[in-house]
Structure 1
Amino acid sequence: MMRICGVELSGNDAIISLLTVDNEIFNLPDCRVRRITCQNPDTVNDLKYFQKTFKQLMTDYQIDTVVIKERMKKGKFAGGANGFKLEAAIQLIDGLKVVLMSSSDQKIHLKHYPLPITFAETGLKKFQETAFVAAFSYYASKHVW
């Protein structure tokens, strides 16, 4: 069974969506949280608390891979400094496989292995769509075209 957590970093929040796959059937398990917030990413204690909370959630749901939607470092749509701090905190969690996936890679994977349902049919909240797409596109990338 494959267990994936899609993540979109937005401001001080890590918005998450869980995806499990068993025998090519995917499921969106209920999760006790939809987002994890770091109150002040400029303080070490808050970053450590965010990291500990994220790690515990991944352990509790037995997540194999975390897929973060990659943000641009420069330009009009560049990510903010706080988001990059949260990204680093997640990447530095021992024993957790973390993958950054660009929008262009997501589009390529979804072109070859499209979503079998519309997002509205998932039952997730609208703000979780980017995290869900990140998780599903990682799953799609594992299929040989």
Structure 2
Amino acid sequence: MRVCGCEISAQEVRLAVVYFDDEGKILKLPLKITRIELKDDTSEADLRSFLASLHEFARDNDVETFAIKSRARKGKMAGGAVSFKIETLIQLVEGCDTKFVNPVALSHFAKKEVKEYPEKLLVYLKNAFLAGAYALTKG
């Protein structure tokens, strides 16, 4: 099973695909595309293009589940309207389930269960990797 961890930031989604190897170790799939940007959230063409890019990404990388790092809906640290559109588009990818990962649970998981990160993991993909790894192990 392959899980794509997602972190939504501003107008883009950051992507990291993880899976178990034969020994039960979590591995990160090397990807050509690690982020997809929604250029204009008021353009129907851009929304459709973003969704098509997600479909293609999921198909090309055999993704079965998307795991999204949750964002606050209100308050000082609330996600913006565009980020919630992106979240909705991820949920619309056909043939894939979507799970949400609470940031607090993700932090605890990182401290207690992640002994090492994949070599050459880009800093901006750390939360996406953690979201995917969490969903993969916690099911």
TM-score by length of 1: 0.87
Matches within 5 A, 1:31-110: 31-110=31-110
Aligned-partner SS, 2:47: helix
Percent identity between the two aligned chains: 26
Letter in 1 for 2:125: Q
Aligned residues: 138
Partner Cα separation in structure 2 for residue 79 and residue 86 of structure 1: 11
Asked if 2 retains the 8 angstrom alpha-carbon contact of 1:6 and 1:17, the reply is yes
Higher relative contact order (CA closer than 8 Å, sequence separation 6+): 2
Asked if 2 retains the 8 angstrom alpha-carbon contact of 1:5 and 1:66, the reply is yes
TM-score by length of 2: 0.91
User: After superposition, what is the alpha-carbon deviation per residue over 1:10-43, rounded to whole angstroms, capped at 9, x for unaligned?
Assistant: 1110111111113312221211111001111121
How far the C-alpha of 1:107 sits from its partner, in A, is 3.6
Partner Cα separation in structure 1 for residue 74 and residue 28 of structure 2: 33
How far the C-alpha of 1:130 sits from its partner, in A, is 0.9
Partner Cα separation in structure 1 for residue 61 and residue 76 of structure 2: 36
Assess, with a 3 A threshold, how the Cα gap between structure 1 residues 79 and 34 changes in structure 2: closer, same or farther: same
Between 1:42-51 and 1:99-108, the stretch displaced more is 99-108
2:11 maps to which residue?
Answer: 12
Structure 1, unmatched stretches of 5+, are: none
How far the C-alpha of 1:122 sits from its partner, in A, is 2.9
Partner Cα separation in structure 2 for residue 85 and residue 122 of structure 1: 32
CA RMSD of aligned residues (A): 1.6
1:132 matched to 2:129? The reply is: yes
User: After superposition, what is the alpha-carbon deviation per residue over 1:68-124, rounded to whole angstroms, capped at 9, x for unaligned?
Assistant: 001110011100110000110111122211111111232454566x1121x3x5311
Partner Cα separation in structure 2 for residue 122 and residue 42 of structure 1: 38
Partner Cα separation in structure 2 for residue 42 and residue 5 of structure 1: 26
